[in-house]
Every structure is written in structure tokens, then in C-alpha cells.
Chains A and B, each alone.
Chain A
């Protein structure tokens, strides 16, 4: 074969591919537009029925509308999209009515079967739907998919459990994370925190229990979430974690949580942390927590912390003093005027505070 033949073949191939690809893009676009038009037509029919149903079901005479919705079979996915669009925007009874329609259409049952599909995309969509609908019959399916091979499916399962939101879902989630299986197919903590936050008070028992879990990640998650949810019975458990947990992230999470919970009983533990803790971030978090509690007993240790060798701690301690109101501000001004360690942080925080409250700082530099 000569060079010329090779070139000729390559050139022809290129040309054929270019034309084929351009044409198929055009065909694809045309098909898509046709479908989109169809889709719009269906939505135009469907949407007013749906809206009228949601607006009037309370009056009890919307059965015919419900029947239309249940029997509706479109060519495109218009119904599913309309519902998928509405579900996350609604709460309360209106949402339940919508879910009821899905159930009567058989959509929920289909999704449960879909979680067994061989195709990751199917499993993904199925579990997303179960989550969006928030139906408790989806809990076993979603819990099973926490160990799925596909990362996106696992994440979708976490989100679904958060949306379904029962004690059972929370327990399933935390137990899975603390198991061997979670090591093989890891799940990142952030989506888990959101799922637990969505579950809310129902997750409390599981969270308190898992504060003692083997996995560092699980303990961290539990500490942070207990704080955000404001679970007061967890305070003593969190105090222990903040002092003795071998993991920095758990101690940090516990310090955050103790601050959010702001119980005076945490002051001793937190001030002890200022003395014994070695991680800068954790000391800073303890300062912030003490600021949130604002117990006079913590004033002296916080003042000392303003002179800490690390700027992160200095600023955190100075910020904490601001929370004590005039007492704290007076102390800060004293520190600011001294040219000692911590003066810089005090001045910085005073200046910031003066902006926030729009007063001029009472000292001159």
C-alpha cells in the first residue's frame, strides 16, 4: 500500500465521518425538538389538571381530577417530570396527595423493582424517585443500595434515606457506615450529614448510639449533626468525645456541637480543652463554643487564649469575648491597648465588631 492510498483512505474516512456525524446531530436535534413539542403539549394539558387538583382537593370534590391524573399515559415523560418537579417544592398534605397519586399509578412499585435493575442508571433513577416521594416502603431498597458498586447510586441512596426520613432510615444509614461493607464502597460524610439533618429528631436515638461507633467518620458525623439538631440529652456524650476522643475531627465536631448546644455544663470541659488540647483548630473551636455559651467563668481562660501563640486561636478567643457584651469588649480594649501578645487579634476583632454594630471603636490605635 502506498502512502497515497493510506492518505486517500484517511481523507475519505474523515469526510464520511464528518458528514455522518453532522447529519446525525441534525437528525437528533430534530427528533429532540419534535419530542420537546410533544412534551410541551402534554404538559399544557396536564399541568392545569394537576394544579387544579392540588388547589381544590381539600374541598373534597376533586376525585374526577385525581382519576384523570392516575389514568394519564403520555408518550413522553411529561407526567413524571411534572411530579418530580413539584415534589421537592412541596411539604405537608399537598405533597401527600401527590404521593398518593403516584402510588395509585403504580409508580412507587415500579421504582422498587427498578432498584434491582442491572443498569446503574435505572437503579439511580429508581432510588431517586423513592427518595423524592419519601415513602417508607423504599427504606429497605435504599438501605440495600448503600452498598452499591456505583458511587452515584450510593449517594442517591443516602439522599433518598434522608428524604424518606424515619428512625429506621437513620439507623440503617449509620449502621451501614460503621460496617465492613462501607470500607469497600465508601460513602462521603457530607451527604450523610444532610440526610441525617433532614431526618431530624427521628434520627436522635441512632445518633446518640453511634457517638460510640468504631468508625471515626461516623463519630464525627454524629457529633456535628447532634449539635446542629440541638439534641440536649447528647451533651454529656459530646463532652466526653470532646475531651478524650483520639481523633481530631471527632473532637472538633464535638466542640462545634457543644457550642451550638450552649449548655453551661460544658464550660468546665471546654476550658480544660484550652489547656490540654494540642490541635489549633480544636482549641479555636473550643474558644468559639465558650463564646456561644458566654459563661462568666470562662472569661479568664479566654483572655489567656487571646495571647495564644497561634493567630487562629487568638482571633477565635477574641471573637468569643465579643459575645460577652460590654464585659468582654472592655477586656478586649484592655488587651488591645497593651502592646502584648494578642493585642493584634483584639484590635482586629474590635474593629470588625465596630463595623457590625456600626459604632466607632472606643480606643485609638
Chain B
């Protein structure tokens, strides 16, 4: 069982991912803004983080940069799940330290596979 933190200000997406990933056998913590998300990540030390970009208090990019600064969390894979769809946005997402980038609207099944792939690639 892997632990996953989902940070998204959209309650539908939070709810959906909570159910979906729990059904897939993971333990999920969901937060609605960047700050709470960062706190949850520090607390849980998850195996994967799913991050929205545009959120109140702290953007996903900032959360990711914070993670990368901290050596103890620099290796946690981050998957951006965002409506920002321009080429330059994707570049910025990866530049900030993202490991994968999924554009909304998204397919929950695809996302689930991507998370599995990230989990498989990360040594534990």
C-alpha cells in the first residue's frame, strides 16, 4: 500500500481521486490549498504527490519548489494535475521539479496508471 497526497482546490476532483485511489488500494490524504497541502506532505511523507497548480495561498509550483529544497522530500515524485495547458506551462511544471504533468480535463484511469508508473519507478 502506498500513501498519496492529493492537493487540489476543486472538491469534485479531490473527492473523485480519493475514492479512485483508495479503491486502487492506496491511502489518500486530500487537501484544498497549497499551504495545507505542503503541511500534509511534510506530515505524511507520501510516496506520490498529486498537485494542482492554481490554488489559494500557495500555488502548486511553489509547493513543488519547497519540496525540492528539502533534501528529505526532494525525491518524492510530484504529478501536476492542472488546467494550465500551454507548452510553456508544462515546461514550467517540469522545471519546478515535477515528475509528470497531466492536463485537465483528465482521465482518472490514465492518472491512476501514471501514478502506478511513478510508484514503480521510485525506489523505496
Contact = CB atoms under 8 A, between A and B. Distances in A.
Direct A–B contact in the complex, CB atoms closer than 8 angstroms? yes
Interface of A: 47-48, 51-52, 54-56, 58, 82, 85-86, 88-95
Which of A47, A58, A86, A91 has the most chain B CB atoms inside 10 A of its CB? Answer: A91
A94 B15 contact: no
Q: How large is the interface on B (under 10, 10 to 19, 20 to 34, 35 or more residues)?
A: 10 to 19
B110 interface: yes
A90 B107 contact: yes
Contact of B23 (A47, A56, A91, A93): A56
Tell me the interface secondary structure of chain A in the complex: helix
Contacts of A48: 15, 19
Interface of B (DSSP majority class): helix
Contacts of B107: 90-95
A52 B109 CA distance: 14
Nearest to A43: B11
B18 A51 contact: yes
B20 A93 contact: no
Nearest to B13: A89
Contacts of B123: none
7 contacts: A55-B19, A55-B22, A89-B12, A89-B106, A90-B107, A91-B110, A92-B109
Closest 4 CB pairs of A and B: A92-B107, A55-B19, A51-B19, A55-B20
B19 A86 contact: no
A90 B15 contact: no
Contacts of A92: 107-110
B39 interface: no
Contact of B105 (A47, A52, A89, A93): A89
A344 to B, nearest CB: 27
